Structure 1
Amino acid sequence: MKLTFWGAARQVSGSMFLLEFDDEYRVLIDCGTDLERDYSEEKTKPAYGIFPFDPSLINLIILTHAHIDHSGQIPNLYKEGFEGQVLCTKATMDLGEILLLDSASLNQRKFKAIHDSKKRSKKRKDIDSRELYLERQVKEALENFVPIPFDQRFKFKDDGYLTFIPAGHLLGAAHVYLEVWENGEKKTLCFSGDIGRKNYPLLIDPQPVPQVDYLITETTYGDRHHISENKPEELLAEIIQKACIDIPGRLIIPSFSVGRTQAMLFTLNKLYTDKGFTPIKVFTDSPLAKASTRIYEKSAKLLNKAAREFRDENESLFDFENLVYLESNQASKAVSNHSEPCIIISASGMVTGGRIEHHIQANISNPYATILMVGYASEGTLGWKLLNGERKELSINGEKLPVNANIEKIDVFSGHGDLDDLIDFVKSQDKNKTKKIFLVHGELNTMQNFKNTLAGIDYNQVEIPEKGETYEL
């Protein structure tokens, strides 16, 4: 059996791991979009369309969860010749549908931008048009998704079994536990996907996995701890008090539409329902967030005990007085004229495109506005600049603007486990029985620090694979 790391190798995004068995059966674990790829610097093109392997030779995809950096290239794999199935949980299938269709909608606009640049005799260097699938390709791919329940041992080949184990992080997210037999020998592997954190709003805690021979684990927070220690509702109440009640201001929250927005809406609902907090107008400015919220509501049985009990008592996890979903771009822009204190939650969380850019641009110079960053942002993004103190002046869509708004940050809504959570995940494995631990899905310096941390507790069989590196297992 061979394992090749084709994505999330020494970087955060683009998870894609190829398992090749001795009988030439090939499984791809995740097929994600590389959000850090710089097309303008590429000197060589992939061997097969946009992939470094022949998609027609892949037999199966196993998907850990719905986020685009894990699922975003699945339609392209079909477009390039893949004919197999995608195994995932039901919630991952539901969220994957709306996320992939949203990507297709964005791709449609990118096609138009490429067409317009050709008319102006300019070549777009930041886009490879071969990666741009449309709604038709998404729907063709979704016809081959097969939902598998959590904790059910599923036979995916004659001598191979798959079990999805709850990972927290996102509704439906799973650790992938594999049992395979080759030449009469049993081998076990676990692909962590993204590891959630304990006591997260809505989601259950990540569950332990059985002992394995090979562990492939994410490392996003492999060198740091979460800063925020108070409960989410306490932290959010404190910020709302300062931003919208002590002064008649507005609170702008960049947030990912799937997962993080639902955690915040649930926390606001608890504040208004259980704590009697003054219901301030909340604008959720993302059609994708609205669709995601419906999926969370109908999948309540997968949520943690506190969320289920709250729903039983209050009938809804997310609906509360003064909550408004904005559908059209016109409605989104009209919020700029809303004169009363309000909260605006909009995508994307890193402030890379989407409606949030308009809200930041309209409010960054307003001393009565507060911008609350609630999670990780990649270096170079506008979100990263806000998080890292570039606050005297910012350029947004070509316009230089003074930063007069108050910038706050909390990480209590981050869906990733921190250093302690990652250590706990690895420590579920007996260091004398695990043959190899592979670190993926993190920045290189973070992986190196996490490797050193593991060495300090006598886990010495640790590798940091390079992209395209193959290991015999």
Structure 2
Amino acid sequence: MKITFWGAAKQVTGSMTLLEFDDEYRVLIDCGTDLERENNPEKTRYEYGIFPFDPSLINLVILTHAHIDHSGQIPNLYREGFEGQVLCTKATMDLSELLLLDSASLNQRKFKMIHDSKKRSKKKKDIDSRELYLDRQVKEAIENFVPIAFDQRFKFKDNGYLTFIPAGHLLGAAHVYIEFWEDGRKKTLGFSGDIGRKNYPLLVDPQPLPPVDYLITETTYGDRLHIDQGEAEVLLADIIQKACIDVPGRLIIPSFSVGRTQAMLYTLNKLYTEKGFTPIKVFTDSPLAKASSRVYERSAKLLNKPARAFLEENESLFDFENLIYLESNQASKAVSNHAEPCIIISASGMVQGGRIEHHIEANISNPYATILMVGYASEGTLGWKLLNGERKELSIRGQKLPVNATIMRIDVFSGHGDFKDLTNFVTSQDAGHLKKVFLVHGEHQTMNNFKITLEQSGYTQVEIPDKGQTFEI
């Protein structure tokens, strides 16, 4: 078999790994959007259009989970000639449909921008319309998704089996365990997907892989621990007390609509239902978050035991007194005039596009406002600027505004396992049996640091692949 790393190589996003078996059967594990490349006007041009390989030669896609940096290019794969199926869990299929349709909606607006710019000027624009799919391409792709249950050994080719193992991180997220036979010998390959963390709200703990010959693992938090180690309810309650009760202010929380928002709404529900916390109006400003929450409740059997017990007793994971979902842009903007203390949860988590930009713009200069960052933000985004350094003013949507709001951060809602979790995931494998470990999905320096840690623990065959690099196993 040959393994070629076409994405998330020495960077975080764009997961895409090609497996070429000796019988010429080709499997793509994940087919994600490269967000680093998307933000770079000088995009790479490939012989096969937007892909570095011929999509018509791919036989199968295996999808670890729904996040766009793992699923976002699947509609384009079909458009460019792929005719096979996508194997994933049922929850991943449901969430992928929502996320891909949301991307298609954004693409529709980009098409309009391109059309309008052509009317005004003949200058070349940075937006590459070849990568913009619409609703119909998403629906055609989803028709070819095939849901596979966790822990079910599934034959995907002659002498080839896969098993999805719970990874935590996101509803439906899976590690992939592959067994195959070549030259009369059995070989095994493990792919981590994104590794979750223990005791995360709603989600089960990540499970270990069976022993494998070759391991491909993510390294997002490969050289750092989570800062906040306490219970989510306690930490969030303390912040709300300071931001909305001790001082009658408003709390603005940039959050990803799928996964992160559900964890926070569930935590708020527990605070109000079980802890007797003062009910404060919570505005959830994301139609995608509302739709995703319905998927979580339909998939309750996949959640952890405390969440299932809470749902059985309270009939809802997310609905509570004073929770208001904002559907329209008009309703979103009207919240700026809400005079009472409140919490506003809005996408995107990196404060890069979406309705959250309006909320930050409206509140960044308000000394009675608190902006709470709850996750990772890529360098260059407004979220990154909020997280890094003391600033007297910030440029938001073309205007410079004084920073009078309180900026806070908390990482208890991060869905990624940290250095300890990643180390445990790899070291659950026998160093004497493991032939090779490949590090992906992380910043290059983080990968180097994690490689040193593994080598010190006896794992000497560790590789950090370049983009496009091929290995024979």
Name 1:408's counterpart in structure 2: 408
Deviation at 1:136, TM superposition (A): 0.4
Q: After the TM superposition, which parts of structure 1 deviate over 3 Å for at least 4 consecutive aligned residues? A: 122-126
Name 2:246's counterpart in structure 1: 246
Deviation at 1:45, TM superposition (A): 1.2
Deviation at 1:125, TM superposition (A): 4.2
For 1:119-158, list aligned pairs within 5 A: 119-121=119-121, 123=123, 125-158=125-158
Deviation at 1:123, TM superposition (A): 4.0
Deviation at 1:41, TM superposition (A): 2.5
Deviation at 1:391, TM superposition (A): 2.4
What SS does structure 1 have at the residue aligned with 2:114? Answer: helix
Aligned partners of 1:362 and 1:266: how far apart in 2? Answer: 27
| 2:96 corresponds to 1:96 | yes
CA contact (8 A) 1:16 1:30 kept: yes
What SS does structure 1 have at the residue aligned with 2:41? Answer: helix
Q: Cα distance 1:359–1:307, how it changes in 2: closer, same or farther (>3 A)? A: same
What SS does structure 2 have at the residue aligned with 1:41? Answer: coil
Aligned partners of 1:140 and 1:472: how far apart in 2? Answer: 34
Q: Render the CA deviation track for 1:12-69: whole Å, top value 9, x for unaligned.
A: 0000000001111000000000000044224x51110100000000000000000000
| 2:7 corresponds to 1:7 | yes
Paired positions, count: 472
CA RMSD of aligned residues (A): 0.8
What SS does structure 1 have at the residue aligned with 2:179? Answer: strand
What SS does structure 2 have at the residue aligned with 1:324? Answer: strand
Name 2:49's counterpart in structure 1: 49
What SS does structure 1 have at the residue aligned with 2:442? Answer: coil
Name 2:161's counterpart in structure 1: 161
CA contact (8 A) 2:114 2:125 kept: no
What amino acid maps onto 2:42 in structure 1? E
For 1:190-209, list aligned pairs within 5 A: 190-209=190-209
Name 2:267's counterpart in structure 1: 267
Q: Cα distance 1:73–1:390, how it changes in 2: closer, same or farther (>3 A)? A: farther
What amino acid maps onto 1:41 in structure 2? E
Q: Cα distance 1:294–1:400, how it changes in 2: closer, same or farther (>3 A)? A: same
Aligned partners of 2:450 and 2:106: how far apart in 1? Answer: 36
What SS does structure 1 have at the residue aligned with 2:36? Answer: coil
Q: Render the CA deviation track for 1:176-227: whole Å, top value 9, x for unaligned.
A: 1000101111110011000000000000000011000110000000010000
Aligned partners of 2:392 and 2:456: how far apart in 1? Answer: 42
Q: Render the CA deviation track for 1:380-405: whole Å, top value 9, x for unaligned.
A: 11000111124211000111000000
Name 1:397's counterpart in structure 2: 397
What SS does structure 2 have at the residue aligned with 1:312? Answer: helix
Aligned partners of 1:256 and 1:52: how far apart in 2? Answer: 29
- Greater shift, 110-119 or 77-86, is seen at 110-119
| 2:222 corresponds to 1:222 | yes
Aligned partners of 2:422 and 2:258: how far apart in 1? Answer: 23
Structure 2 segments unaligned to the other structure (5+ residues): none
CA contact (8 A) 2:363 2:369 kept: yes
Deviation at 1:122, TM superposition (A): 5.1
| 2:360 corresponds to 1:357 | no
What SS does structure 2 have at the residue aligned with 1:350? Answer: coil
Name 2:107's counterpart in structure 1: 107
- Greater shift, 186-195 or 451-460, is seen at 451-460
Aligned partners of 1:89 and 1:429: how far apart in 2? Answer: 25
Q: Render the CA deviation track for 1:156-191: whole Å, top value 9, x for unaligned.
A: 001100000000000000001000101111110011
What amino acid maps onto 2:208 in structure 1? P
Structure 1 segments unaligned to the other structure (5+ residues): none
Name 2:313's counterpart in structure 1: 313
Deviation at 1:455, TM superposition (A): 1.3
Aligned partners of 2:123 and 2:343: how far apart in 1? Answer: 40
CA contact (8 A) 1:90 1:148 kept: yes
Aligned partners of 2:76 and 2:309: how far apart in 1? Answer: 41
Deviation at 1:126, TM superposition (A): 3.2
TM-score, L = length of structure 1? 0.99
For 1:331-346, list aligned pairs within 5 A: 331-346=331-346
What SS does structure 1 have at the residue aligned with 2:216? Answer: strand
Name 1:116's counterpart in structure 2: 116
CA contact (8 A) 1:39 1:127 kept: no
What amino acid maps onto 2:130 in structure 1? R
What amino acid maps onto 2:57 in structure 1? L
Aligned partners of 1:131 and 1:390: how far apart in 2? Answer: 37
What amino acid maps onto 1:107 in structure 2? N
Identity over aligned pairs, percent: 83
Aligned partners of 2:122 and 2:14: how far apart in 1? Answer: 28
Deviation at 1:263, TM superposition (A): 0.1
For 1:270-281, list aligned pairs within 5 A: 270-281=270-281
